[in-house]
Amino acid sequence: MIHELNQLQFSKASHLLNGELINLEIKAVVEGYNPGWVFVDNIENPETAMVWSKGIKGFYFIGDANNSDFNNNINLYIDEEILPRAQSRGIESFEFSGIGQVWDENFKSIFKNRNIRMSKQFVYKHKTTEKKVFDTLKPDDYILKEVNEELLKSNRYNLEFVKSAIYE
C-alpha cells in the first residue's frame, strides 16, 4: 500500500535520507524547504519513499529498494493517483532516480511494463578532503573554459564530447 504524506508529516521519512548520497533538492523537500510530495509504504514508519520535487520535475526513490510491498504497488498508485494529478498540471512525463545499482536494477523490473528510457546522469560531488585532479596538473596541461553559447558554436575545439554530455 502506498500513502501520501501531508507536508507536516514529511519528517517521518527523514530517516530514509541518513547515510545516503541524496539529491539535495529531494532532501530539501523532505525537510520542508522545497515544494514537493512524499509517498511512502507506511505512514508511521516508512521503509521506502518516492519523493516528487517540483524543482527537478521528477521522483527520487529512497529507502529500501527491495521493499516488495512498495515495489509491487507503486505502478498502480502511479496510474490511479500520480498520472491524473500530473496530467492536470500539464506534465506528460517525468524523471525518476534512486540511489545506486540496486534501485537501477529494480527499476527495470518495477517498470517493465512501461515505456521508460534509462540514461546516465553525471553528478558533481564536492569533498574538500579529496585531492583535486587539477592540483596535480601543471597549468600547461589543461585549459579551463566556461561552457557557453560562444564556445559551443566554436570550431576551435573538439566539442562533440561536451555537447553529447550536455544533451544526454
Q: What is the mean pLDDT of the chain?
A: 82
Q: What is the CATH number of the domain that holds 73?
A: 3.40.630
Q: What span, in angstroms and rounded, lies between the C-alpha atoms of 106 and 70?
A: 12
Residues 28, 84 within the same domain: yes
Number of domains the chain is built from: 2
Higher-scoring residue by pLDDT: 66, 93 = 66
Look up residue 123 and give its amino acid: V
Residues 24, 71 within the same domain: yes
Residues 21, 79 within the same domain: yes
- Domain region containing 149: 133-167
Tell me if 128 is assigned to some domain. Answer: no
Residues 83, 141 within the same domain: no
Q: Could you tell me the pLDDT band of residue 51, with boundaries at 50, 70 and 90?
A: very high
Tell me if 121 is assigned to some domain. Answer: no
95-98: strand order across its sheet: 3-5, 36-40, 48-53, 58-63, 95-98
Q: What span, in angstroms and rounded, lies between the C-alpha atoms of 103 and 62?
A: 9
Phi and psi torsions of 135, nearest 5°: -65, -25
Tell me if 116 is assigned to some domain. Answer: no
Tell me if 26 is assigned to some domain. Answer: yes
Return the number of other C-beta atoms located less than 10 Å from residue 24's C-beta: 12
Provide the pLDDT for residue 42. 96
pLDDT at position 13 over 90: yes
pLDDT in tens, 96-134: 888 777 888 888 888 888 877 766 655 555 454 444 555
| Percentage of residues of the chain with pLDDT beyond 90 | 35
Residues 145, 78 within the same domain: no
Q: Please tell me whether residue 71 adopts helix, strand or coil conformation.
A: helix
Tell me if 68 is assigned to some domain. Answer: yes
